[in-house]
């Protein structure tokens, strides 16, 4: 079991937003500086930096957008959400609100979406995978370990300049991460060189809101296969000789 990282300063504390690291269509990621307050219990003054992901409400605006996210029917999505979180919209009022996508229904889904990413990353972090430490989540925000330094955030794998040896190493780390995730019964669902960061010789896995439980989802293996094919295609384009079907077959052994 991994223990809470020592770099995280304790509460009570004061957070200052240092600006946007990356702004996109689904989320905006900010750099936050947290300083411990001085109280009777703590001296205060220690500080740390982390990333704060703010989800934009786009994802759950309309049923059609859910389909665009890869779910064939909105009801299938609702089922996925139920499965993924291991609990259900028990109240029929909540279920109907989600199915009708009323304002209240959207709020329920958005909340689960945010919580889901935190939950998945906590599981994977504890399983030893190279994911940023998930600190906490609230309504539409998710705080997590920042990957980078004072001068720059870690580049996405697609933008990193890797030597041939580093490319092979990144691929080996990718397979190790995929194995870990599959062993945990999860598929990322949006695996690409945009959702991997490269920093100090390490490959970091990020962006898990759409992660699914392989066994509980009818299309679980299809999602896993699509992830493997997509990300292997990137390595192949970079000149690495990798066989996506071999990688996929090796992962199936982990299930």
Residues interacting with ligand ATP, by CB under 6 A? 21-22, 24-27, 29, 51, 53, 132, 144-148, 153-154, 156, 194-195, 206-207
Site membership for Mg ion, residue 207 (CB under 5 A)? yes
Identity of the residue, 148 or 185, whose beta carbon is nearer to ligand ATP in the bound complex: 148
Map the chain to HEC letters. Answer: CCCCCCCCCCCCEEEEEEEEEEECCCEEEEEEEEEECCCCCCCCCCEEEEEEEEECHHHHCCHHHHHHCCCCCHHHHHHHHHHHHCCCCCCHHHHHHHHHCCHHHHHHHHHHHHHHHHHHHHHHHHCCCCCCCEEEECCCEEEEECCECCCCECCEHHHCCCCHHHHHHHHHHHHHHHHHHHHCCEECCCCCCCCEEEECCEEEECCCCCCEECCCCCCHHHHHHHHHHHHHHHHHHCCCCCCHHHHHHHHHCCC
Is there binding between residue 195 and Mg ion (CB under 5 A)?
Answer: yes
Shortest distance (Å) from residue 32 CB to ligand ATP: 11
Per CB under 5 A, which region of 1-9, 117-125, 127-135, 187-195 contacts Mg ion? 187-195
Cα distance between residue 183 and residue 255, in whole Å: 6
- Shortest approach of ligand ATP to residue 18 CB, angstroms? 12
# residues contacting Mg ion (CB under 5 A) = 2
Work out how close the CB of 226 gets to ligand ATP at its nearest, in angstroms, rounded to a whole number: 17
- Minimum Å gap between C-beta 48 and ligand ATP is 13
Question: Residue 154 binds which one of Mg ion, ligand ATP, none, with CB within 5 to 8 A depending on kind?
Answer: ligand ATP
29 binds, among ligand ATP, Mg ion, none (CB under 5 to 8 A by kind): ligand ATP
- Nearest residue to the partner Mg ion, using Cβ: 207
Q: Closest approach of Cβ 61 to ligand ATP, in Å?
A: 15
Q: Which does 60 bind (CB under 5 to 8 A by kind): Mg ion, ligand ATP, none?
A: none
Q: Which is nearer to ligand ATP, 97 or 174 (CB)?
A: 174
Pairwise CA distance, residues 191 & 157, whole Å: 11
Return d(Cα 103, Cα 131) in angstroms, integer: 33
Nearer to ligand ATP, 89 or 205 (CB): 205
Quick one: 89 or 208, whose CB is closer to ligand ATP? Answer: 208
Give contact residues for Mg ion (rule: CB under 5 A).
Answer: 195, 207
């Amino acid at each position: 079991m991994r223990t809470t990282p020592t770099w995280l300063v304790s509460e009570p504390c004061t957070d200052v937003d240092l600006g946007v690291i990356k702004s996109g269509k689904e989320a905006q990621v900010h750099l936050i500086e947290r300083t411990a307050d001085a109280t009777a219990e703590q001296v205060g003054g220690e500080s740390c930096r982390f990333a704060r992901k703010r989800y934009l409400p786009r994802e759950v605006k309309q049923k059609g957008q859910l389909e665009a996210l890869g779910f064939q029917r909105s009801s299938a999505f609702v089922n996925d959400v139920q499965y993924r979180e291991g609990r259900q919209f028990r109240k029929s009022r909540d279920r109907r609100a989600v199915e009708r996508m009323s304002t209240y229904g959207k709020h329920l889904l958005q909340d689960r979406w945010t919580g889901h990413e935190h939950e998945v990353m906590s599981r994977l972090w504890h399983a030893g995978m190279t994911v940023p430490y998930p600190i906490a989540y609230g309504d539409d925000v998710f705080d997590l370990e920042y990957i980078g330094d004072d001068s720059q955030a870690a580049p996405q794998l697609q933008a990193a300049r890797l030597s041939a040896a580093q490319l092979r190493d990144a691929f080996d780390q990718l397979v190790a991460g995929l194995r870990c995730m599959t062993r945990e019964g999860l598929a990322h669902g949006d695996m690409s060189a945009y959702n991997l960061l490269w920093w100090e010789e390490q490959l970091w896995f990020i962006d898990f809101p759409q992660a699914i439980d392989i066994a509980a989802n009818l299309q679980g293996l299809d999602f896993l296969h699509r992830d493997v094919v997509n990300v292997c295609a990137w390595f192949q384009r970079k000149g690495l000789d990798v066989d996506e079907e071999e990688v996929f077959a090796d992962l199936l052994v982990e299930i």
